[in-house]
Amino acid sequence: MGKERNGNYFEDFQVGTKITHATPRTLTEGDQSLYVGLTGSRAALYTADTNARQLGFERRPLEDLLVFNVAFGKTVPDISLNAIANLGYSDVRFVAPVYPDDTLAVKSEIIGLKENSSRQSGVVYVRSIATNQYGVEVLTWIRWVMIRKRDSGADCLEKDVPSLDPWVPADHLQWGAYTAAVQNISSATGVGDLWDDYAVGERIVHPGAMAINNSDHSIATRLYQNTAKAHFDEFSAAAAGGQRLVYGGHVISICKALAYDGIENGLSILAINAGSHVNPTYASDTIACATEVIDKFDFDSNYVGGLRLRMIGVKNARPESIEFPGSKLGKVSYPSNVVLDLDYTIAIPKRM
């Protein structure tokens, strides 16, 4: 009758294993309100019903990163309860809008494994898919995570590392929810900058800065029903000479909210191409960020295009001081105040 729920260790995973995560979750206006309170998000599409209708939607969808964080949280008890570090994201695609009162269900498949040379841990590669209550896929992503071994002497499977695209190609992006009505966005935001007005190589310093308080990240992480111990167990963290870590998804949300100023007409995230939590964020750190335009995607559309952006988040530094080290994510040495290097693609109206 053992009822110890101590999560999976590296040896417990096999390539091809499929997991249905518990339990489905209904998202509501209440979750959206709390998301605004926790992040300060001002994105036009999510902020007002009037905006959403002007932009061609019947109803106001839920914030993209609220959906991501909740879906991600669902995978934690099965995948990353014993994680040492969340190493990266790939092929994160926002496939369909999620609306208040929709219910997310999340499944995963193990797609790769690699034991570390220390034999104390290994890297697990996971593909996860979130569907709504109609079985429609709304979000899919790959992440890889370093997980402890239960027994360092255990035999492990051979190395099986999946081949991952460095970014989501334009023809995999789902921008079909957008119609010509998105042209109306400037009347909501008061800002004229559209797809046409961003140039590859352009850099945008976002002027805001946001201190993260202990309750901020704790409430956010609980809202996402993410149970990773590193975010909640101050007693054990202090006993080990450390402190609780801020959940990386909360850092992404804070940076995304700060990035509103300068990218006001961004409609939603289409993809996260890659991402790295470069250094840890702790409570009382103040976060700031800057963006570089990496690429522009000219979809087969007269009214919406894609911007591939690189967002660097720092702690306890002015956003004006942010540099964009190296040319490949995760392959460079970062200053110690960099906490996030995120490569993502947004939809933004084109000038008709």
Provide the strand spans (E) within the chain.
18-20, 25-26, 83-94, 103-115, 121-131, 137-148, 203-205, 210-211, 268-276, 286-297, 304-315, 338-349
Contact stretch for a copy of itself (CB under 8 A) within 47-55, 113-121, 143-151, 269-277: 47-55
Q: Provide the residue count of the chain.
A: 352
Contact stretch for a copy of itself (CB under 8 A) within 147-155, 171-179, 262-270, 344-352: 262-270
Spell out, one character per residue from 184 to 223, where the chain touches a copy of itself: x when CB under 8 A holds, - when not: ----xxxx-x---xxx--x-xxxxxxxx-xxxx-xxxxxx
The nearer residue to a copy of itself, 154 or 238, going by C-beta atoms, is: 238
Contact stretch for a copy of itself (CB under 8 A) within 23-31, 117-125, 153-161, 295-303: 23-31
Q: Find the binding residues for a copy of itself in span 224-243 (CB under 8 A).
A: 225, 227, 229, 232-236
Which DSSP letter does residue 44 get? Answer: H
What string of DSSP letters covers 198-260?
Answer: --TT-EEE----EEPPHHHHHHHHHHTT---GGGT-HHHHHHTT--PPPPHHHHHHHHHHHTT
Number of neighbouring beta carbons within 10 Å of residue 47: 17
- The least distance separating a copy of itself from the CB of residue 333, rounded to whole angstroms, comes to 23
Contact stretch for a copy of itself (CB under 8 A) within 38-46, 83-91, 119-127, 303-311: 38-46
Number of residues that bind a copy of itself (CB under 8 A): 85
- The least distance separating a copy of itself from the CB of residue 23, rounded to whole angstroms, comes to 4
Which amino acid is present at 170?
A: A
Number of neighbouring beta carbons within 10 Å of residue 201: 9
The nearer residue to a copy of itself, 67 or 329, going by C-beta atoms, is: 67
310 binds a copy of itself (CB under 8 A): no
The binder of a copy of itself chosen from 103, 116, 174, 184 (CB under 8 A): 103
The binder of a copy of itself chosen from 14, 33, 120, 321 (CB under 8 A): 33
- The least distance separating a copy of itself from the CB of residue 260, rounded to whole angstroms, comes to 9
Copy the structure tokens of residue 130: 């979130």
Short-list 330, 333, 349, CA closest to 86: 330
Q: What SS3 class is residue 181?
A: helix
22 binds a copy of itself (CB under 8 A): yes
Q: What SS3 class is residue 112?
A: strand
C-alpha to C-alpha distance for 292 and 135, rounded to whole angstroms: 36
C-alpha to C-alpha distance for 204 and 289, rounded to whole angstroms: 9
What is the maximum span of the chain, computed from C-alpha positions, in angstroms? 65
The nearer residue to a copy of itself, 199 or 352, going by C-beta atoms, is: 199
The nearer residue to a copy of itself, 123 or 307, going by C-beta atoms, is: 307
Q: Find the binding residues for a copy of itself in span 323-352 (CB under 8 A).
A: none
Spell out, one character per residue from 123 to 142, where the chain touches a copy of itself: x when CB under 8 A holds, - when not: ----------x---------
Spell out, one character per residue from 276 to 295, where the chain touches a copy of itself: x when CB under 8 A holds, - when not: --------x-x-x-------
C-alpha to C-alpha distance for 292 and 308, rounded to whole angstroms: 9
11 binds a copy of itself (CB under 8 A): no
The binder of a copy of itself chosen from 14, 26, 120, 321 (CB under 8 A): 26
Indicate the helix (H) or strand (E) that contains 31.
Answer: helix 29-39
Spell out, one character per residue from 145 to 184, where the chain touches a copy of itself: x when CB under 8 A holds, - when not: ----------------------------------------
39 binds a copy of itself (CB under 8 A): yes
- The least distance separating a copy of itself from the CB of residue 227, rounded to whole angstroms, comes to 6
Short-list 177, 6, 14, 165, CA closest to 91: 165
Copy the structure tokens of residue 171: 């023809």
Go through 163-193 and write b for each residue having 16 or more CB atoms within 10 A of its CB, e for each that does not: ebeebbebeebbbebbeeebbebbebbebeb
